[in-house]
Amino acid sequence: MSAEFSSLGIDESICHVLAERGITTVFAIQEMTIPDILAGRDVCGKAKTGSGKTLAFGLPIVQRLRRAAPGRPTAMALVPTRELAVQVRDELLPAAHALGVRMAAIYGGDPIDKQIKQLASGVDFAVCTPGRVIDLIERGDLSVADVEHVVIDEADRMADMGFLPQVEWILRNVEGEHQTLLF
């Protein structure tokens, strides 16, 4: 019998939201990584598409987040495409709402002014493409100085697509101790 999300340390409010969505089975990647992520450890997780990676990194981060100042998220997931940014945000949004966590998908091809307004109103967890993050940092509309949790989703694909220099640039701008998760 597989573990339940609550036995991995996931907050009951999140477990309730998951159950309402029909998500009751814990996948192997979740069972192996959630306790370590909740404990604040850096994690590298590898699993096939559709195996629950987004919830594996997203649920514990949503649970551990502190409230962010405007334009200064405390968690950031870097993803290779705008479609994945929207998908990851949408997958985590119900759990985020359960705990009052503000999320946004920040990516190129969407009006930057809309994203600047969203950041200015406060975003705790930003799911972003690297190019748009750099644009916003260089414009002074986004700071990653307060980021405590960094996820590099589809890390192998990001490297294959040539995003590694941008990811490294972003990570150099994250100040202080932070948790790094590679999936």
Token representation of residue 163: 């995003």
1 pLDDT band, cuts 50/70/90, is very low
Q: How many CB atoms are closer than 10 A to CB 91?
A: 17
**pLDDT, position 176:** 85
User: In this predicted structure, what is the pLDDT of residue 175?
Assistant: 87
Enter the CATH code of domain 6-182. Answer: 3.40.50.300
pLDDT of residue 68: 78
In this predicted structure, the answer to whether residue 23 has a pLDDT above a threshold of 70 is yes
Helix ranges, the chain (H): 12-20, 28-38, 53-64, 82-98, 112-121, 130-139, 155-160, 164-173
Domain boundaries of the chain, sorted by first residue:
6-182
Kindly report, residue by residue over 149-171, the tens digit of the pLDDT. 999 999 999 999 999 999 999 99
What are 93-103's pLDDT values in tens digits?
999 999 999 99
Question: What is the mean predicted confidence (pLDDT) over 23-30?
Answer: 94
Task: Please give the Cα distance from 147 to 86 (Å, whole number).
Answer: 20
* Dist. CA 122–CA 1, nearest whole Å: 41
